[in-house]
Amino acid sequence: MKYTTLPNTDIKVSKICLGTMTFGQQNTESEGHAQMDYALEKGVNFFDTAEMYSIPSREETYGSTEKIIGTWFKKTGKREEVVLASKIAGPNPNFGYMREKLDFSPASIQYALDNSLQRLQTDYLDVYQLHWPERKTNCFGQRGLKIQDDAWEDNFHEVLETLDGLVKVGKIKHVGVSNENPWGLMRFLEESKYHNLTRIKTIQNPYSLLNRLFENASAEVCLRENVGLLAYSPLAFGVLSGKFLTGESHPNARLSLFPQYARYSSANCTEATKLYQEIAHQHGLTLTEMALAFVQQQRFVTSSIIGATTMEQLKENIATIDVVLSSEILKEIDAVQAVIPDPAP
């Protein structure tokens, strides 16, 4: 395994992070435990979860992933061997079953965190992340900014003050954001700088060969301000494994079970995936190896979050840590990006 440190900390984390959002729906408790056993054995010491997992979020499975991680901690006693990240869900009209208000008010943050800690059977989190901005801003599948009836009032200072208090009492060590844009990230960083409050250390956003929008502005913020990207969906819901190009049916794949997650299924995504697979095969790689290695090699990426529903997938994904892409391969990848740029916004 390869390691780095969370920016502005002394916490060592693996360059591959275990994503767990399938635990509780696509994966049973025993399967989730087996994945965590194997990942830790292979040197993956960084696990990511969220209060709203498993995905798709439903009332009957709300919090199921955190509960499965919690029973694994209780069974193995390995909490101290894991760098654990979780998230508080931001506003969504469909998730009213999570708590009375899906906002980042002090009461909501305290309530969500305490419930996550209880489910996870731990008394602290290494990283606590804001899963979505409270304000209306860019969303999946949308290019450009479209704000309608945004009643949000600026509360960056209050949110950081609340998180700062939780850091001081030891319930969380560090904080991060997720699905945030450059303006929001910089606002948090400026509030921290001028008011001596806890600093955002990570941002968890989508990043893959099919979606490199992070490079446009957010990457510069990360590099200049020393914030680490935790890149999620590096295989674009399995599309960048190449399995959907074979013509075979995959009834247990996420895109088959949950067709609403179709942002990587456009004609442009399919065409780009074919071109990327050709590059990989020409250089003796699988598409999975090339896709994950591409993400892991980016300077602004602290760790890439991999998720798997089978042990075979997990083993293949973790093994890609040893793959290094040559400058020739990277140039060929950029040539495809120039022709079909970011087909999955």
CB count in 10 Å sphere of residue 215: 14
- CA separation (Å) from 263 to 69, 142, 238? 29, 10, 12
Please give the Cα distance from 104 to 111 (Å, whole number): 10
Q: Is the dihedral of CA 242, 244, 250, 255 positive or negative?
A: positive
88: nearest Cα among 63, 112, 61: 112
Residue 80 is given by DSSP the state G
DSSP string, 295-327: HHT-TTEEEEEE--SSHHHHHHHHHGGG----H
Strands 12-14 and 3-5: antiparallel
E strand segments, the chain: 3-5, 12-14, 16-19, 46-48, 83-88, 125-130, 172-178, 200-206, 228-232, 301-306
Q: At what angle do helices 64-76 and 29-41 cross, to 10 degrees?
A: 60
With a CB cutoff of 8 Å and minimum separation 6, the contacts of 87 are 49, 50, 51, 52, 128, 129, 130, 131, 178, 204
Interatomic CA distance for residues 295 and 80, integer angstroms: 28
Active-site positions?
53
